[in-house]
């Protein structure tokens, strides 16, 4: 699994796939989805928006399972 895929799974499911400094992958991906930087305190308020935007990528990962 790539770090990008782990970030997608993290955002869609809510299960933390990274710890410490590696959380930057989730922040970077969330920022890409929103088109702006995201701050820690925003994750809860944007949870549904992020889940909806990441859904196609999550489904793509699921389709590519071998």
Residue 52 near residue 2 (C-beta atoms within 8 A): no
Quote the tokens at residue 13.
């499911």
Banded model confidence at residue 5, pLDDT cuts 50, 70, 90 = very high
Domain ranges within the chain, ordered by starting residue: 3-63
Question: Measured in Å, how far apart are the chain's first and last C-alpha atoms?
Answer: 12
Residue 61 near residue 11 (C-beta atoms within 8 A): no
CA distance 46 to 41: 9
Say whether pLDDT at 8 is over 90.
yes
> Over the stretch 11-24, which tens digit does the pLDDT of each residue have?
999 999 999 999 99
Q: Does pTM top 0.75 for this prediction? A: yes
- Alpha carbon of residue 58 to chain centroid: 9
| Helix (H/G/I), strand (E/B), else coil: 66 | coil
> Over the stretch 16-49, which tens digit does the pLDDT of each residue have?
999 999 999 999 999 999 999 999 999 999 999 9
């Amino acid at each position: 699994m790539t770090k990008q895929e782990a970030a997608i799974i993290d955002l869609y499911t809510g299960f933390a796939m990274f710890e410490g400094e590696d959380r930057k992958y989730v922040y970077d991906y969330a920022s890409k989805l929103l088109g702006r930087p995201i701050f820690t305190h925003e994750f809860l308020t944007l949870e549904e928006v992020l889940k909806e935007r990441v859904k196609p990528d999550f489904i793509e990962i699921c389709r590519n399972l071998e």
